[in-house]
Structure formats: C-alpha cells, structure tokens
Amino acid sequence: MHVCRLKKFRKREDILNKKSVLQIVNEDKNCFWYGLACLMNPNNRTIRDNRNIKARTKISSELCRKCKLNWNEEVSFMHLPIVEKTFNCNIYVIDLNNIPQLGANIKLWNCLMYKSENRNNQHYYFLFDNEIKHYDCITDIKAFLACRCFCNNCLSSFLQKDTYENHKCSLQKMKKENKKNESKMVKELSHYLTK
C-alpha cells in the first residue's frame, strides 16, 4: 500500500508570532520601507515600535527618497533591483503562505518569490503576503528557520556547524561547470565563425 505524504505548511499566525519576525503595522502603502528601515537599523528600537510613527516615517521616507521611488506607493518586485543597487544589498522575499514545516534541512527555494544575484554580504529577508500585498520582515533568518547555520548562496539551513562548513552549494558547482565550459566555447567559437 502506497502512502502519499502531503507537504505540510505552517500556519500564518504561527509564522508572524515568531520572535525573529517583525510585524509591520501600517495604514498606508509603505510597509516595505518601514521593514527595510528596521532591518538596516537593527539597534534603533524607536523605529521598531509601531506606536512611534514619526521616527519610523522619517527614516523610511529618507530610504525611499534615496532610491528615487515614490512614497506611499506599493513597492513591487520590479522596484527591488533599484533598492538593492542603491544600498548595495541583497533582498529576498519569501511567500508567507508557502513556508514548510520546520525540519532537519529546509531549502527556501520553493517558497522564494524574489532573489537576485549576490552582490554584498548584507542580506535582508522579507515575508510577503500576496493576498493583502503586505511586507513583514525577518530579523534573523537562522532563528526563523530554527537552525544553527544558513547558507545565503543555496538558501539551505543546517542543524550542525560541521555539515554547513563541509557542504558544497549547487550554485558553486554550476559556476565551476560554466567556467570549464567557457574555455571550450571560446575555442569552438572560431570554428563556427569560419563557417
């Protein structure tokens, strides 16, 4: 008899109530900017407090102005490369409604909504609720995934440090293979050009 195992997903309330998730409470369309301000200023407790609207708005609107985007407009995934380029950082957006149960090894690829090429060692993680078009932010990805180590290249979590240190990213393998094939392609290019 074959038993089909369905992938279990975590409840929305359980995710948002984690200590590593900072819920952004707002009445305007600037939840992304509020979250980014909190992530870029982790020691500033005044902007994390949802009651201190003036301080949070001041810092967030300055971030928006630096990116030359419009304040009080929804930030779409098309705007995220502009933000990454302006602040030289990496932004990852995770689907809030598609996060799997905690396990020994979690890969975020399946629930990732946005990721660009790695450009710096600053990594900012956001949760996005597609139904209400709202961003919340993850202050600590390792605490969020309940793991000891996390690889920002292959987006995998590890429970043991030695496993993390000995793992080889699939992205690193692909880059090495591309470099090997690159020299072959250059040699064959002249052959195709002469034809």
Q: Which residues contact 83 (CB under 8 A, 6 or more apart)?
A: 36, 67, 69, 75, 89, 91
Distance of CA 148 to the CA centre of its chain: 18
Amino acid at 42: P
Q: Could you tell me the pLDDT band of residue 182, with boundaries at 50, 70 and 90?
A: low
pLDDT digits (tens, 9 = 90+) for 63-97: 999 999 999 999 999 999 999 999 999 999 999 88
Query: Cβ of 167: how many Cβ atoms within 10 Å?
Result: 16
Percentage of residues in the chain with pLDDT exceeding 90? 34
Q: How far apart are the first and last CA of the chain?
A: 59
User: What is the rounded CA–CA span in Å between residue 113 and residue 144?
Assistant: 17
Q: Does pLDDT of 140 surpass 70?
A: yes
Of residues 90, 174, 97, the one with CA closest to residue 134:
97
Q: How many residues does the chain have?
A: 195
